[in-house]
Structure 1
Amino acid sequence: MSGNGAEHQAASLNAAGLHRLVEVLIERGYRVVGPTLRDNAIVLAELESADDLPRGWGVDVSPGQYRVRRRDDGAAFGHSAGPQSWKQFLHPPRQRIWAGTRDGTGEPETDGPENEAPRYAFLGVRGCDLAAIATLDGVLGRTDYPDNAYVGRRRRAFVVAVNCTEPGGLCFCASMGTGPAAGPGYDLALTERLGGDAYLVDVGSPEGADVLAAVPHRAAGDDEITSARSEVEAAADTMGRQMPDTDLRQLLIANRESPQWDEVASRCLTCGNCTMVCPTCFCTSTQDVSDLTGEHAERWREWSSCFEFDFTYVHGGGSVRQSGASRYRHWLTHKLGTWHDQFGMSGCVGCGRCIAWCPTGIDITAEMNKMAGDD
């Protein structure tokens, strides 16, 4: 699943065509997941039809705040990132990795990649989140010791990206090089136009071309293509936030002993919200459990956070990072700096979720700009 659609003529869909696209994906056995309105937030959930999309809803975000609001049009994708990312479907928060019995009767149960992982179709993947999936591909998939469960889910996924034309107040994907246009990795990419009445469609894979062929569409005109591309390009200049234009890795190295870490720690609750909503944080821990009789045992893998006090616990020696300042410094330095050393890329895609869902409103772009002397 790669490409940018350059080898295919862009197509045009109307609102009915979007409905049919969802129907076709369901008919082909995919569990279609997309944005929907629930509990006063735009969340990702399985769709029964395109009617479940949050048409006419947008969001207002700022540090530590998130509010849905009514739009004055019927746009289905007229909102920025919500509290969830696609990571939860490819790298689940909790997964059983082994089960067995004391007497050894029967084969141990395992949840492996070939245990029929769901065939997901992701509808509405933004450029930042598409880059996050690519980041997880590098961390969990293309390694010497890949996470086979992740690889199985990813291989079966169909991705419908959405190019952004209205960045949110906390978006900074342009300064991270991940948006607002979707990069490689999609099967189809949509650009929503005319308040949700029309969609420009780019094809990024043979699978995407095959699905599009089953959906009523027409070739897009030159004016439509130019207008849609221009709207996406213009979005790069209306980002709500921006990282400093400097080498972030070197900036963090130079400020390793900065008093700014203690100042941030005075506000940080070390709750781990930022790592839970981050679309690229991948750390896990394992837990062994048994039933009351002790006859059945299971091993579960669960999301973990470097903000947890026990995350770096060493037997007999306690926790390596005992202060909130050291834990925050570790998270930010890894995310923006040493991730490059490990994986050859940044661990941040500029989605802004960590800013919106931090209870005390800590803004990593503000912290980095302050560190760079730009604030």
Structure 2
Amino acid sequence: MDAIRILEPSGLDALIVELQNRGYRLVGPTVRGDAIVTADIAAAADLPRGVGDEQEPGRYRLRQRDDGAYFGFADPAQSTKPVFFPAEEVIWRGRRDAADGGHFTVERDAPDQQPVALLGVRSCDLRAVEVHDRVLANRRFTDAHYVSRREGTFTVAVACGEPAATCFCASMGTGPRPAATTNETGEAAYDLLLTEVDPGMPERHRFIVEIGTERGREVADAIAAREGTEPDRADAIAVTDAAAARQSRAIDTATIHDVLIASAESPRWEDVASRCLACTNCTLVCPTCFCTTVEDTSDLAGTSGERHRVWDSCFSENFSYIHGGPLRADVKARYRQWITHKLATWEDQFGMLGCVGCGRCIAWCPVGIDITEEAAALGRMKTAAG
């Protein structure tokens, strides 16, 4: 698919209505309290129009823009991860048979089958979905709940033109412009790709639409998006090229794997452990972390019970607990495990990195620990050691 269309800002509502009419539940960015979050969207008015964000190590703030941009921010506080992989869900319910107190009836919980349309998903988060597809859906044993929620997803991606100071997707090869196809299957990564152009000039403000799939073309035809040209595509590419050039953080993906494997005993781990609170914030906002545990509950009468799956974190002491105690009893070991898995052994395990460069772990760390700086520091120490 290679067609270019132009969508006026007023056409966003037509796009939303068309997707609703096709049976999709729309999920996209919206303002809740003091943050832009990923939640259900009913109309273009729900989008964060005229709202930007400021993200620094340990700092996240919203700001009012002086234009009418609908997507004039870096990324929502939380990614699309909870849409397909919620923080808590019931796995099964059991109830004691009233006629025979020795038997139980067990019912497995079934996720909502309504297909989801992702509206405004950023390139980094789109890549994170691809990571979860690899881990949870495309191996021998699949996560049935994830697969059920993921099935039939319609994706309206939005290229990023406003990176935060914490973003480093350009160095990771995951943005700010999404790849046209996924690494996993070679299929289209999105149905439609929108790039917002000239939001500060009302007479020129528009969305350049690139079509990724046939069903994306059907939707573009249905909302009467007018034909675009190759100069329009060039304008879209210029937006993301400029965004990439403004990113000041980076990770050297060519060397980081070997650096981390060689740094198991580096004194840098003591340094970062002296600052890390092991609060788990970084793993909870990470769009690719997928560690979970199970919690069992029952009523006081002992007649019914439930098993819940909930997010867990490798920064929790109990996460590595086995008989006799935790394998990673100190913060040094836990931080080393986290960053080494993200940037080295994840690639060995799944054939791709576990970091997409969204920068959330930097912004939402209470003490501002920066994964890019820790990676760079370990690289410098390895070079100095020869």
Q: Structure 2 CA distance, aligned partners of 1:216 and 1:10?
A: 13
Does the alignment pair 1:132 with 2:128? yes
Q: Structure 2 CA distance, aligned partners of 1:87 and 1:284?
A: 13
Aligned length: 366
- 1:174 corresponds in structure 2 to 170
- 1:3 corresponds in structure 2 to none
Q: Equivalent residue of 2:265, what SS?
A: coil
Give 1:104 deviation, angstroms.
7.4
Give 1:108 deviation, angstroms.
2.3
- 1:108 corresponds in structure 2 to 106
Q: How does 1:8-157 map to 2 (within 5 A)?
A: 8-103=2-97, 107-112=105-110, 115-157=111-153
* Residue 320 (structure 1) aligned to one of 319, 327, 331: 327
Give 1:246 deviation, angstroms.
3.7
- 1:351 corresponds in structure 2 to 358
- 2:184 corresponds in structure 1 to none
- 1:199 corresponds in structure 2 to 207
Task: State which drifts further: 206-215 or 173-182.
Answer: 206-215
Q: Structure 2 CA distance, aligned partners of 1:187 and 1:245?
A: 29
- 1:302 corresponds in structure 2 to 310
Q: Structure 2 CA distance, aligned partners of 1:224 and 1:288?
A: 55
- Amino acid in structure 2 at the alignment position of 1:311: F
Task: State which drifts further: 172-181 or 103-112.
Answer: 103-112
Q: Structure 2 CA distance, aligned partners of 1:47 and 1:116?
A: 17
Q: Equivalent residue of 2:199, what SS?
A: helix
Change (3 A) 1:192 1:104: farther
Does the alignment pair 1:278 with 2:286? yes
- Amino acid in structure 1 at the alignment position of 2:341: H
**Runs of 4+ that moved beyond 3 A:** 104-107
Q: Equivalent residue of 1:95, what SS?
A: strand
Give 1:156 deviation, angstroms.
2.4
Q: Structure 1 CA distance, aligned partners of 2:248 and 2:70?
A: 21
Percent identity reads 48
Q: Structure 1 CA distance, aligned partners of 2:294 and 2:59?
A: 32
Does the alignment pair 1:329 with 2:336? yes
1:205-250: CA deviation from partner (whole Å, max 9, x where unpaired) = 2221222221121111232221111221232211131113642110
- Amino acid in structure 1 at the alignment position of 2:31: L
Give 1:38 deviation, angstroms.
1.5
Does the alignment pair 1:248 with 2:247? no
Change (3 A) 1:104 1:362: farther
1:15-35: CA deviation from partner (whole Å, max 9, x where unpaired) = 111121011111222111111
- Amino acid in structure 2 at the alignment position of 1:72: D
- 2:192 corresponds in structure 1 to 188
Q: Equivalent residue of 1:99, what SS?
A: strand
- Amino acid in structure 2 at the alignment position of 1:58: G
Does the alignment pair 1:367 with 2:374? yes
Task: State which drifts further: 215-224 or 119-128.
Answer: 215-224
Change (3 A) 1:240 1:111: farther
Q: Structure 2 CA distance, aligned partners of 1:254 and 1:286?
A: 34
Give 1:307 deviation, angstroms.
0.6
Task: State which drifts further: 76-85 or 228-237.
Answer: 228-237
Q: Equivalent residue of 1:42, what SS?
A: strand
TM-score by length of 2: 0.92
1:144-191: CA deviation from partner (whole Å, max 9, x where unpaired) = 100011111111221110111221111100110101111231111100
Task: State which drifts further: 244-253 or 182-191.
Answer: 244-253
Q: Equivalent residue of 2:108, what SS?
A: coil
CA RMSD of aligned residues (A): 1.6
Q: Structure 2 CA distance, aligned partners of 1:11 and 1:294?
A: 60
Give 1:82 deviation, angstroms.
2.5
Q: Structure 2 CA distance, aligned partners of 1:224 and 1:209?
A: 17
- 2:347 corresponds in structure 1 to 340
- Amino acid in structure 2 at the alignment position of 1:200: I
- 2:186 corresponds in structure 1 to none
Kept after mapping to 2: 8 A contact 1:11/1:219: yes
- Amino acid in structure 2 at the alignment position of 1:25: L
Kept after mapping to 1: 8 A contact 2:97/2:105: no
Does the alignment pair 1:290 with 2:288? no
The gaps in structure 2 that reach 5 residues or longer are 182-188
TM-score by length of 1: 0.94
* Residue 311 (structure 1) aligned to one of 291, 314, 319: 319
Q: Structure 2 CA distance, aligned partners of 1:177 and 1:164?
A: 14
Q: How does 1:204-223 map to 2 (within 5 A)?
A: 204-223=212-231
